Structure 1
Amino acid sequence: MDHKQWLAELTTDTTNGAAEKAGITPATLFRQLSRGRISAENVIALSRAYGKKAGDELVHTGFLERSDIEGVGIESALRLASSRQMLDEIDRRMGDGHGDDLNTKPSERN
């Protein structure tokens, strides 16, 4: 997406106002817009200033692909989890009345 268009969709504030709200020097934002590209760091700052998720806005501005922020896969998440975290999750599942079917994902349960 064109970065000028992105900023216009993000806020109705002036460029000066948006820069100030995001803690960016207005001259820097004006310069970047005149070149047609806001830096990734400033996209993040602007996103946060306006209550948007920075990852989503980095996708909209072309810095990231959607697959870059979709999250870690289940297998990778399990490898990252500590034994305590895994045991806590098993305990939570057993306590919710669905312990008889451990092969069912929580999202598939009624």
Structure 2
Amino acid sequence: MNVYEYIEKITDGATINEISERAGIVKSTLWRQIKNNTVSYENLIKIARSYGVNPITALVGVGAVTPQEALQGKMAGDLNDASETMLIEEVARRLHRNAIDADRPIVLNDFELAANDDNYRDAEGTTAEE
């Protein structure tokens, strides 16, 4: 989605004049940037904030950053700030959502988790004969 389409979406089709006034952007600047499809990220952030949209969400929405980049750093801080009760509730929610059998122990090995699902992991290897 290009920047103009995204702005149209988050502003619910407001006019450029309405958007510029609400976001505190000079009208001629916003007109020019939208006409040339070169809306600056600074102005995109101003528009997002003025319409109650998280600026990071807006940057993801126009492809300026990936969802993974937006989440970097956020998750570690969130986990450190979460109480034990919040962590337990989140684990329970995920177990329920993913329908994991909570009556069986979760076995983690030192190698990648995908190896736990490998039915042939204990099979002996063979080599081609020359």
Q: Fold-level match, TM-score > 0.5?
A: yes
1:108 and 2:109 are equivalent in the alignment: no
Q: TM-score, normalised by structure 1?
A: 0.67
- Give me the whole-angstrom Cα distance separating, in 1, the residues matched to 2:27 and 2:41: 16
Aligned to 2:114: none
More RCO (CA 8 Å, sep 6+): 1
> Which of the pair is proportionally richer in helix?
1
Percent identical pairs in the alignment equals: 25
Aligned length: 89
Task: Measure how far apart 1:37 and its partner are.
Answer: 2.1
Give the ranges of 4+ consecutive aligned residues of structure 1 lying more than 4 Å apart after TM superposition: none
Q: TM-score, normalised by structure 2?
A: 0.58
Aligned to 2:43: 42
The 1:20–1:70 alpha-carbon spacing in structure 2 relative to 1, beyond 3 Å, is same
Q: Unaligned 5+ residue runs, structure 1? A: 97-104
Aligned to 1:2: 2
- Give me the whole-angstrom Cα distance separating, in 2, the residues matched to 1:73 and 1:44: 19
Q: Unaligned 5+ residue runs, structure 2? A: 94-130
Task: Measure how far apart 1:73 and its partner are.
Answer: 6.8
How large is the RMSD of aligned CA atoms in angstroms?
2.5
Higher-Rg member (1/2) = 2
Aligned to 2:55: 54
The 1:67–1:24 alpha-carbon spacing in structure 2 relative to 1, beyond 3 Å, is same
